[in-house]
Structure 1
Amino acid sequence: MSPLRVEFAGEWHDLPPDRPFIIGREGDLEIDENPYLHRHFLELSHHDGLWWLANVGVRLAATVSSAGGAVQSWLSPGARMPLVFERSVIVFTAGPVTYELSLHTHEAPYDVSREVQASMSGETTVMPVSFTPMQKQLMVALAEPMLRREGVSINELPSSTAAAERLGWSMSKFNRKLDNVCDKLDRMGVQGLRGGPGKLATNRRARLVEYAVTSQIITRADLPILDDETLQDAADADGD
């Protein structure tokens, strides 16, 4: 059995193979006192020859990706998945705060080939998608705290108002482009971006940030576009 280690905020935890390891507001790894975070949220355990990650919460979901972002899954409440890569990154949002932790093992059952890393940008199916400059500006504005982080595992998610002000946009323009980006990714098969009853705007923004960063649709190299006033929004298939 290959040992599994968890890293969060610069602290390392070696997982016991004989009992579950609990992550949440309380447990083996106490993330934060954030009241929006479940007392017990994620559970790591070893059985059937593999390490497994389970979402034992009732409301929050987590984005789980290979370290390079080539393979990504959305772990909803009640779901579980095997950990098959040498390094995995877990990102989740509770209230206005986004958290990131990583899982490390030395003997992973699978590896992501360079070809897959170069071609994949979705959760299960490779589907090319392009974004207009202003759509990317929107994603970078929402993800700016995560993109600027320097070894930080906790980031504040900007409100729609703050992101719109950062870009110099009206709220109607911001919301229209947010709808366009979320609709585009929803058609691509990305979960958690569809609106509707019970779907809070904060949850949709958080899911967009998690997906865009972990799948590397946007990276730190895109930060300069926030201050690029010369960008013109090109027409696309959505009429954005």
Structure 2
Amino acid sequence: MNQEIFILTGAGISAESGLKTFRDAGGLWEGHKVEEVATPGAFAVDPDLVHHFYNQRRAQLREVEPNAAHRALAELQSKLGDHLTLVTQNVDDLHERAGCHDVIHMHGELLKKRCASCQMISPCTGDLTHDCTCTACGSMGRMRPHIVWFGEMPLCMEEIQAKLIAADVFIAIGTSGVVYPAAGFAEVAKNHGAKTIEINLEGTEQSPLFDEHLIGKASETVPDFVKRFS
């Protein structure tokens, strides 16, 4: 009988491809605090600044490529099929570009936009501005990045919860273990009988919840780990 595998990836896996995070510089990203560019209030106060910030992030995303960890997970997914659930806290498309499919982006996607009026989600590969018009409902100034900001509910939580409960193995890769609800996933999986494995550069606050720890760069540890399933 095939095991059900649940993999959660965080900023650490994409950082190796050159993508920056808020934690790279003590809570600042390109000189901006979280409160300035990643909250609903920030968007209400200064939408131009928020759009500029995410336009820069899209531009940066075009300059990087998936690394060996992304490619290894794509290989694993091709082997396990529906028995692998891949959830990411990252908003980039590096998993998909490496060959992954059915990735659950619980914090949204940088290359999509959403209308705050009608909630239509559509691709967004270029710059987004405050005067963009929704092609579905015609609203102007209501288009926002399809990103889950601080203070908002992550996406697909019911599906994620069901997959966590059903998991035989839970693996966290490159995640700090401090941002909830993702920080609580290991505990949920463990409480329902899953073996828990942490792959990270160093230990985290959640490390005591894991049965196994693999310390090192994701680009080195993940490919070796995936060989277990060959």
TM-score normalised to structure 2 length: 0.28
Larger strand share, 1 or 2: 1
Structure 1 or 2: larger helix share? 2
Q: Which one has more relative contact order, counting CA pairs under 8 Å at least 6 apart? A: 2
